[in-house]
Amino acid sequence: MSAQVTKLFNNIWQQYLTVTPSADKIHQLLGSGRDVINDHVAYRTFNLDKINLDKLASHLLTLGYTECGQYDFAAKKLTAKHFEHSNNTMPKVFISELRVEEFSADVQKIIHKLVAQLPENISDQENFLYSGRSWELSSTDYQTLLTTSEYAAWLAAWGFRANHFTVSINHLDNFDCIVKVNDILKEAGHPLNSNGGEIKGDKTVKLEQSSTLADKAIVEFSDKAMEIPSCFYEFAKRYPQADGELYTGFVAASADKIFESTNAIS
């Protein structure tokens, strides 16, 4: 089972690197050439039947993952769940879905138009979690989504791929402090997401997180090509709970700000 999980995440990682070249450099910088353990990998989707959160999750459940937490992001109109594997060196997976019905008729129409282009059984494809974008999208529809929901625009442009990987600071040999990690990233020229402060969370909530600002990559829209934010890299340090085990959940207030790492910075 673990070999299959490793193979899946290798495929997801390779796809992620194609639009997130900074991740490879950061991996070298923090891991000094050794393997880096990922705390989690994050996904975005729409809550429409063909491709909803459960459809993504089914690929994980068959590999031995179980659902371990639920989260609500009212302002961003998102529901999320996280999944863990019994082998705790396998990344946790955080999947969110946009509650499409809570948006304006115009936005809903664009999203339904995209999803209608997908085959009914797309989520059964073995490579679904790294299949990218399988719908045509115009730059004007992208811009319309962007004015209402950065999340929706990102997903429309990039499709099914990791939104971010997350280095487990607890497992790094050379660093144990998120401030030091942030400092070395900035020294190496990787800008961080400072929305809500560079470090989200603290010891009292058992989880500290920071993230880079997303790289940029060219997307071919149906009418033209444009450079837009792609994916980012996150860093997490977990603290033990009263029972001595590391906290494995997520902190909604912190995740809310991490989502903004793909905002376009003008």
Q: List, in sequence order, every residue forming a beta bridge with 106; answer none if it has no partner.
A: none
Amino acid type, 195: N
Q: How far is the CB of 247 from Ni ion (least distance, A)?
A: 14
Number of residues located near Ni ion, criterion CB under 5 A = 2
- For Ni ion, the closer of residues 142 and 259 by Cβ is 259
Q: Which stretch binds Ni ion (CB under 5 A): 78-86, 106-114, 140-148, 229-237?
A: 229-237
Residue 112: other Cβ atoms inside 10 A: 12
- The reply on whether position 42 binds Ni ion by CB under 5 A is yes
Residues in the chain: 266
Give the residue with the Cβ less far from Ni ion, 12 or 42: 42
Among residues 97, 141, 208, 234, the one that binds Ni ion under rule CB under 5 A: 234
Least CB distance to Ni ion at residue 104 (A): 28
Complex with Ni ion: residue 36 or 110, whichever CB lies closer: 36
Alpha carbon distances (Å) from 260 to 196, 206, 209, 265? 10, 21, 13, 10
Q: Which stretch binds Ni ion (CB under 5 A): 15-23, 39-47, 138-146, 221-229?
A: 39-47
**Distance (Å, whole) CA 219 – CA 19:** 10
Helix, strand, coil % over all residues of the chain, rounded to 5: 40, 25, 35
Tokens representing residue 259 in the block: 């989502």
**Is the distance from CB of 192 to CB of 171 less than 8 angstroms?**
no
Instruction: Using the minimum distance from each CB to Ni ion, give the nearer residue, 48 or 238.
Output: 238
Closest approach of Ni ion to the CB of residue 223, in Å:
33
- Given the rule CB under 5 A, which residues bind Ni ion? 42, 234
